Amino acid sequence: MTFADWIQLRPEGIYIVPGDFYLDPARPVPRAVISHAHTDHARPGHQAVWATPATIGIMQARFGTAATAQPNFLDWHQPADFGPVRVTLAPAGHVLGSAQIILDFAGQRAVYSGDYKLTPDPTCTAFEPIPCGLFITEATFGLPVFVHPPPEQEIAKLLRSLQLFPSRTHAIGVYALGKCQRLIRLLRETGYAAPIYLHGALQNLCHFYSAQGIELGELRPATAAARAELAGALVLAPPSALRESWARRLTDPVIGFASGWMQVRQRARQQNAELPLILSDHADWPDLLRTIRETRAGEVWVTHGQEDALIRQCTLDGIPARPLALLRPEAEE
């Protein structure tokens, strides 16, 4: 029996045949196991969902009752059986609650990575390499040019700019789930104690993280603040808001974005990012290769990003690899 005999790609998503359930399905299904709560992985409307408590909590915070009629909370390494298929979740280190999905069936083990990174992140549990026969990996930054700098270096860049321009508002574009809270936490760890101002779209999930015990310090709504109050302050907003009229309320702002994509100079220029911060929640090229080695997988399927180079590299390393062309909505990040 091969892995392709029991793990199939259907229009809804990755389907586990003998257990009759989907991984991160893009369309509503009766039974879904969800790796993490980014909207390209976690869609509303599934009948029953299995995921970590944090992932289900975030889905409920975002989708309300549409999140799922039947939530099933799985802690790390707590097994759930779907007929002959055993499912367990292991930390993926990507955002709060993010999991790799371990599938055991008939003596074979497959691991679906979801999105992951190896760089330590104070807002979520660290990635654990899981030995397996098949590793289904993401490849968002699957090109040799992608080598992410240490996060501390990027945070220092931001702090330096705040010192250098004490009267300019620093407006940084961040994704609502994960990046926003990680950036705040990394700043707090350096001793930055000033209030941080949030666009309305970021408040909900910051409250959720705080309620989970992740200390974010004093956060204030940006819309309620007077112009003068925002001089020299740090404002966080979704990237789209900084491209729109929302940013016009700020006086002479320093505009920046925090994303792994900021390594691509052209992208930083396109977004008019005066202060590009390379802060990625995905594995870079060396960490993708290191992870594949550490799983000791005999076979690799690549999804979700730049597949070709990673497949070529696996083949050179003697590991059979192929793309898993996923039909999925546009990535949230």
Q: Give the nearest distance from C-beta 42 to Zn ion in angstroms.
A: 9
The reply on whether position 282 binds Zn ion by CB under 5 A is no
| Residue 232 burial (CB count, 10 A) | 15
Tokens for 173, please give them. Answer: 């574009």
Burial of 150 (0-12, 13-18, 19+ CB in 10 A): exposed
Phi, psi of 69 (to 5 degrees): -75, -25
Q: In angstroms, what CA-CA distances link 267 with 39, 248, 253, 262, 293?
A: 22, 21, 19, 6, 31
Nearer to Zn ion, 115 or 284 (CB): 115
* Span 220-259, contacts to Zn ion by CB under 5 A: none
**Between 40 and 229, whose beta carbon lies closer to Zn ion?**
40
Question: What is the nearest approach in angstroms of Zn ion to the Cβ of residue 97?
Answer: 11
What's the closest the beta carbon of residue 43 comes to Zn ion, in angstroms? 12
How many residues at the interface with Zn ion, by CB under 5 A?
3
Q: Minimum distance from CB of 324 to Zn ion (Å)?
A: 13
Token reading at 294: 């550490």
Binding letters toward Zn ion, positions 29-48, x by CB under 5 A: ---------x-x--------
Return the number of the residue (29 or 99) whose C-beta is nearest Zn ion: 99
Please report how close the Cβ of residue 51 comes to Zn ion at its closest, in angstroms: 13
CB of 305 to Zn ion, least distance (A): 8
Q: Which of residues 60-119 bind Zn ion (CB under 5 A)?
A: 115
Residue number with CB closer to Zn ion (115 or 287): 115
> Nearer Cβ to Zn ion, position 35 or 263?
35
Question: Residue 244: which of 222, 271, 263 has the closest Cα?
Answer: 271
Nearer to Zn ion, 98 or 271 (CB): 98
| Residue 131 structure tokens | 């030995």
Nearest CA among 113, 257, 253, 119 for reference residue 175: 257
Decide if 26 contacts 332 (C-beta within 8 A): no
- CA pair distance 299, 287, nearest whole angstrom: 17
Pair type for strands 299-305 and 275-277: unpaired
Window 114-153: contact mask with Zn ion (x via CB under 5 A): -x--------------------------------------
Gap between the Cα atoms of 51 and 190, Å rounded: 33
Closest approach, Cβ 18 to Zn ion, in A, equals 26
**Nearest distance from residue 41's CB to Zn ion, in Å?**
6
Handedness of CA 119, 120, 125, 128 (dihedral sign): positive
Which positions from 303 through 332 interact with Zn ion, judged by CB under 5 A?
A: none
Q: Which is nearer to Zn ion, 176 or 278 (CB)?
A: 176
Q: Between residues 54 and 235, which has the closer beta carbon with respect to Zn ion? A: 54
Interface residues toward Zn ion, by CB under 5 A: 38, 40, 115
